[in-house]
Amino acid sequence: MALVEKNISLSEVFLSDNTITLRISRMVKAGQVRKIGARLYTTNMSESDQIIIRRNLWQVVGLLVPGGVVSFRTALENRPAKDGTVFVTGSYKRQIKLPGLRIVQIGGTSPIEGDMPFIEGLYMASQPRAFLENLAPTRNKGGESRSVGREALERKLADILRIRGEDELNTIRDNARSIAAELGLEKEFVLLDRLIGTLMRTRSAELTSPTAKAYASGEPYDPSCIERLDVLRAALAEQVLPCRKAVHLPNDTFYNEGFFDAYFSNFIEGTEFLVDEALDIVFHGALPENRPEDAHDILGTYRVVGNFDEMHLVPDNFDTFVTLLKSRHSMIMEGRPAKHPGDFKEKPNQAGSTLFVAPELVRGSLQRGYERYQSLDDPFARALFMMYLVSEVHPFDDGNGRISRAMMNAELVTGGLCRILIPSVFRNEYIASLKRMTHHSDPSAFVRVMSFAQEFVRQIDCTDLNSAKRLMEQCNAFETPADSLKLKLPQRVEI
């Protein structure tokens, strides 16, 4: 809201000074402006003080601490602390309390080289300055500490190394060296130098952040991915999960299930054939002249999921896990040499808005995930965790969905449980449940969808291939995903 009274143009929040004091007093009496803090006024007469201050946060800070430097944890986090505190370096110490905002002004050095102009005369501390300030000793006298703490600081350094590389860390270190004396933070620079050197494995310092330790050890990982895996592991461990037992023998039932496994797993990835075409490819060696690579996708997948011995192999240590992943991926993607079968990716990949784990973090993320996988006893839980782990890390250029489902079903077969198939018509529910887990850390839909898909398999007798196909057709299994069509169960049961 802007208001003009005798050529005075006022913003929604403003400071009174000697030049306009009398006019502001008249406007207050007239109900045109009101006071919300010491010398701080607003033209907004309807909303609460807290809402107004939150909307004009940095303008308020700039008005009350002109020429101040947004510093310490606020400069690293780029937002107020959880309790609404903003830390600013000024010419002397003081605190300013307003509804929903506490400004802690710390006496210190005014803006120096590298600090950036911000809002209303404020400056934002440079990243090197912020790192040095956050390493300074601090005593918490109530409220949030002015430092983010060692673990958070190390994690921030590790993120810079992961995303921008060693050159960026070296630049931060060089700039920090040049300003440390001016800030009186020489001891803090010595510590920062050791931390950066340890991350790049040229120095040695005791680290507290698991992420930073992983970098220093040479096996960095994606912390956000591991956080989601922890959520899923906890959900799977605490639930009483279904136990749909199955007897797996090297007979027609096993191989027919393997066919449908390979068919559906490719269909939902875009390798679409009519069922009869796929049957000719798998069981009669018929390769369509115009689609040889697509045919090899189905054949390669069947070589894994239709192999009785292969589907009874599960990892008993991390090295075996990696070996199984790579060997199965090599078989599945054999027909696409440009996708580097059996080799972990060297370039980032994503699907829509989902950006998967960076190439240099793949092995470390898989290792941390495997540690969590091996803590689960239930074969259904291990299967779902394995599937999500591989899908979420996305360790290969292509074929990640197929290899993740193959790894999952090997867990189920070895554990004496029914496989999980994702019929074509069920693709949207399946993908949505994965996105729900990835973007909202909510495993409930994922567990529910996979349980329903397993129940579908349990109710399909695959002894005779044609009979199984007809029953699946009646259940809409081969239909293209659509809102009007749903996967039906042969028997109506509550899942």
Q: Which domains does the chain have, with CATH numbers?
A: 1-46 (no CATH), 150-217 (no CATH), 223-474 (1.10.3290.10)
Q: Are 155 and 209 in contact (CB under 8 A)?
A: yes
Q: How far apart are CA 253 and CA 398, in angstroms?
A: 30
With a cut of 80, say whether residue 354 has pLDDT above it.
no
Please report the pLDDT score of residue 360 as a whole number: 87
Q: How far apart are CA 490 and CA 495, in angstroms?
A: 13
Q: What is the pLDDT of residues 189-231, one digit of tens each?
A: 999 999 998 888 776 667 777 777 776 666 788 888 999 999 9
Which residue in 293, 229, 298 sits closest to 265, CA to CA?
298
Please report the pLDDT score of residue 8 as a whole number: 54
Give the lowest-confidence range in 9-23, 70-84, 416-430, 441-455.
Answer: 9-23
Cα dist from 181 to 131, 163, 338, 431, whole Å: 14, 29, 54, 55
- Between 196 and 120, the more confident residue is 196
Task: Look at the block and give the residue holding tokens 């300055």.
Answer: 129
Burial grade of 362 (CB within 10 A; 0-12, 13-18, 19 or more):
buried
- Between 52 and 355, the more confident residue is 52
Q: DSSP alpha helices (H): ranges in 268-317?
A: 275-284, 292-305
Q: Sheet containing 116-117: which strands, arranged edge to edge? A: 94-98, 101-107, 85-90, 69-70, 123-124, 116-117
Please report the pLDDT score of residue 396 as a whole number: 97
Burial grade of 13 (CB within 10 A; 0-12, 13-18, 19 or more):
buried
Q: How far apart are CA 311 and CA 229, in angstroms?
A: 24
Q: Are 91 and 110 in contact (CB under 8 A)?
A: yes
Query: Torsions phi, psi of 124, nearest 5?
Result: -105, 125
Q: What is the pLDDT of residues 44-60, one digit of tens each?
A: 999 999 999 999 999 99
- Between 21 and 406, the more confident residue is 406
Q: How far apart are CA 401 and CA 406, in angstroms?
A: 9
Percentage of the chain lying above the pLDDT 70 cut: 94
SS3 71: coil
Please report the pLDDT score of residue 426 as a whole number: 96
- Average pLDDT on 250-276 reads 94
Both tokens assigned to 181: 């004396």
Give the lowest-confidence range in 85-89, 176-180, 387-391, 479-483.
Answer: 479-483
Q: Are 375 and 223 in contact (CB under 8 A)?
A: no
Query: How many beta carbons lie within 10 A of that of residue 198, not counting itself?
Result: 20
Q: What is the pLDDT of residues 320-333, one digit of tens each?
A: 999 999 999 999 99
Please report the pLDDT score of residue 2 as a whole number: 45
Which residue in 29, 493, 480, 484 sits closest to 267, CA to CA?
480
Q: Are 161 and 87 in contact (CB under 8 A)?
A: no
Q: Which amino acid is at 407?
A: M
Please report the pLDDT score of residue 374 as a whole number: 92
Please count the residues of the chain: 495
Which residue in 410, 289, 461 sits closest to 475, CA to CA?
461
With a cut of 60, say whether residue 495 has pLDDT above it.
no
What's the whole-number average pLDDT of the chain? 90
Q: Residue 380: which H helix or E strand, with range? A: helix 379-393
DSSP character string of 316-349: SSHHHHHHHHHHHHHHHTTT-GGG-TTS--SS--
Which residue in 208, 81, 85, 72 sits closest to 134, CA to CA?
72
DSSP character string of 84-102: SEEEEEESS-EEEEETTEE
Both tokens assigned to 91: 């010419």
Q: How far apart are CA 454 and CA 377, in angstroms?
A: 19
- Average pLDDT on 167-194 reads 94
pTM of the complete model: 0.68
- Between 128 and 356, the more confident residue is 128
Q: What is the pLDDT of residues 361-380, one digit of tens each?
A: 899 999 999 999 999 999 99
Which residue in 91, 230, 212 sits closest to 155, CA to CA?
212
Strand partners, 196: none
- Average pLDDT on 67-73 reads 95
